[in-house]
Amino acid sequence: MWFAQQLTPTVPITIAQYIELHGDLDFEVLHQAAKTAAHEFQSPYLRVIEVDGEPFQLVDESIGLPLGFVDFRGEDDPAAAAEEWMHRDYATPVNLSTDRLFDITVLQVGDRDYLWYSRIHHVALDGYGGATVMNRIAALYTAAVEGGDAGPAKCSPLTDLYELDVKYRTSSRFESDRKFWADRIRGIEEGSSLVAEVAPAAARSRLASAPLTEDAVRLLEDSDLRRGATSAAVVIAGFACYLSQMTGTEDVLVNIPVSARTTSVLHRSGGMLVNVVPLRLSVRPGDTVAELVQRVNLELMGALRHQRCSLEDIRRDAGRSGERSLHAPMVNVMLFSQQVTLGSVVGENRIMTSGPVDDLLVNIYQSGSPPSTVIDFRGNPNLYEDDDLRSRHHAFVEMLEGFVAADPDTRLMEIHARSFRMAGRKHKAASLLAHWSRVLSGIPEVLTLPADRPRPIVLSDRRRRVEFDIGADLQERLISLTRDRSSSVFTAVHAALGVLLSRLGDTDDVAIGTPVTVHAATVDGTVEPSDNTVVLRTRVDGGDSFGKLLHEACLGELSAFNHAEQSFERLVETVCPVRSTAYAPLVQVLLEVRNARRPHLELPGLTVEYADADGVAGEVDLCLSIAERHDADGALAGMSAAFTYATDLFDPGTIERFATRFVRILDAATADPSIAVGDIEILDPDERDALAPVFGARRRRRGRCRSCSPTPRTSTPIRRRSCSRT
């Protein structure tokens, strides 16, 4: 905890709570009771000192334990002013070496109305230990004002707690716990969250809060009879169901705070022992409520048996120390009375903060008189806005009430239908993203083509076009080739462009983007069009025939278009988290089809239509546009083609040569589809003559054309010969 505080010195890792009291309060007796309890437990007198850069704990009673007092009765709204004071207090940074780590203050908000406030740094005490200390203070106070005896303290000194921890960490039980957690978290180390981002925690979290209905509370209290499981297991199962729906994943991670006090000695003592266990839960849409609750109940029992192994140890054993390691919402179920008695005054404990919230903290607790069961969402303000948090909170409360009311045999998908429709969409989105992440794994960062200038640090939007023509004869041969192979002209053009880019860029891994309009059914059944860019990734093996490449390109297109609903922007965020201003992400070359009657692909529940690249052509290095022509009688009249190119990189002459070579590839492929793509001649005789003196006589081999070892030459005659031909 000391190390964690050093990493975020401006965000105090404190817990804060207050007990609402209505009645007469004896300040002197309360102060004396607090000092007695502090002496017994030692934790309130704890200091952290550094020796040679290492932290050590020191019990120092000389720091005292004053009882603070602030009177808010002069404020317009004393209770609100006191609450704001407490928020500011627990959010104030703490110096672990010089500041008190345990502070208590009485805030007066009425003539006989008080808030007994405590702020405790997690280095000194956890929430369980803090509550134990506060209850001891209350018992000592009650005994003093009633003339009774509170009895001896049963807590152990901090040195005993330290020795117990050392004994545990050198035991076989510790090794058994470590193995248990290593097996449980394998494959889900990244965790789960309602949001995709990760952000540092803040001292104050956002809050959304509401009570459960009385019927839901009654059903929850009867969980042991109705479900054969604890109410905590039912709540956690309900949240796991909600998290699965919202994230679109069947395996979710829910963090659960545990006391880690597995012996009576630890239960009676102070100290910082609390732990967080990562509960891995499987939620299948076909599950019944009973199946999920029982699964969670078993997981919870297993986790509690191994609760002393710290989350830091679990992360370390998994080799994961990043900010997303086992990152998940935390669910804290506290369905027990939180009343505290000070003599004749009965107060209710209210939590202000359990510490900084990394993601989302879900508290379920009893409050008020008569008590109601309240659900809080406390969200990291760097991840959740107020409206977003309230919306998510409302959806969960609705779903949980439906979950606890459902018969045990009810299928999860039948509970809160709106959430499950949304879950279907989330599952589909997750499946799409997983598909594309696999398809694009290891994709080259950039396709480097022979350019006339070095790539600038920032690629501008300046573009020009070089237009060229594909004759009717070649067009007819393309149609014949694709008809014989159950393909399309688009696929043939795609394959030929892949060959060109492979040869020019000296790579066998080519990614080409194509703009499309996707017509997909929404959750409510309506069809909405959306513009998108689909990535066509092709492996170009120089030894394969063009016919084989055409077949593989066709299969790749079918797979890509079948997953065309995946947003290109979201895909870029996932696959290319680090962006460059020098080139477009994922694809630097586009292929578009411009026809009056656009070709389209009909798939189950999905129609993909080729679209214009007007909105994206200005972002890439090169864009090939193809448009088929027909004469007045409808006969084939050739194809209009154009390369739109980035003038930061290319001159017109270079692009004209690209166009000429592209047409040569089409011509060779349609003349003999069995030709190896590495043997397609893309240079004219003059270009070969210009290259031969530099690279030596060319020889063919299966695959890409390779040059023989060149005759050694100095650079001067090479430059002179090259210049004489320009």
**Last residue of some domain: 381, 411, 439?**
439
More confident residue, 307 or 595: 307
78 with 101, same domain? yes
**Last residue of some domain: 657, 676, 695?**
676
- 530 pLDDT more than 90: no
- Condensed to tens digits (0 to 9), the pLDDT of residues 290-316 reads 999 999 999 999 999 999 999 999 988
689 with 665, same domain? no
Question: In this predicted structure, what is the pLDDT of residue 608?
Answer: 67
398 with 468, same domain? no
Question: In this predicted structure, what is the pLDDT of residue 614?
Answer: 64
- Condensed to tens digits (0 to 9), the pLDDT of residues 435-449 reads 898 899 999 999 999
465 with 339, same domain? no
Per cent of the chain over pLDDT 70 is 88
More confident residue, 726 or 44: 44
Sign for the CA dihedral angle at 475, 476, 479, 482 comes to: negative
Neighbours of 453 (CB within 10 A): 11
**Is the entire prediction scored with pTM above 0.85?**
no
Does residue 556 lie within any of the structural domains?
Answer: yes
Q: Closest by alpha carbon to 154, among 263, 317, 298?
A: 263
Q: Domain of residue 28: give its range.
A: 1-155
- 606 pLDDT more than 70: no
Does residue 258 lie within any of the structural domains?
Answer: yes
458 with 514, same domain? yes
- Condensed to tens digits (0 to 9), the pLDDT of residues 247-287 reads 878 899 999 999 999 999 999 999 999 999 999 999 987 89
- Condensed to tens digits (0 to 9), the pLDDT of residues 608-625 reads 666 666 656 678 999 999
CB contact set of 552 (below 8 Å; sequence gap of 6+): 538, 539
Question: In this predicted structure, what is the pLDDT of residue 336?
Answer: 79
Does residue 598 lie within any of the structural domains?
Answer: yes
Does residue 174 lie within any of the structural domains?
Answer: no
**Last residue of some domain: 392, 412, 439?**
439
Does residue 178 lie within any of the structural domains?
Answer: no
DSSP secondary structure code for residue 62 in this structure = G
Does residue 354 lie within any of the structural domains?
Answer: yes
Q: What is the mean pLDDT of the chain?
A: 87
Please, are residues 331 and 235 in contact by the beta-carbon 8 Å criterion?
yes
668 with 687, same domain? no
Q: How far is CA 161 from CA 100, 155, 260, 580, 585, in A?
A: 21, 10, 12, 53, 55
Count of structural domains within the chain: 4
Regarding beta strands 339-342 and 360-367, do their DSSP bridges make them parallel or antiparallel, or are they unpaired?
Answer: unpaired
Neighbours of 9 (CB within 10 A): 11
Q: Closest by alpha carbon to 611, among 600, 624, 622?
A: 600
208 with 356, same domain? yes
- CATH number of the domain where residue 103 is located: 3.30.559.10
308 with 453, same domain? no
Does residue 172 lie within any of the structural domains?
Answer: no
228 with 372, same domain? yes
Does residue 369 lie within any of the structural domains?
Answer: yes
431 with 445, same domain? no
- CATH number of the domain where residue 317 is located: 3.30.559.30
327 with 445, same domain? no
Sign for the CA dihedral angle at 403, 404, 405, 408 comes to: positive
Question: In this predicted structure, what is the pLDDT of residue 89?
Answer: 95
451 with 395, same domain? no
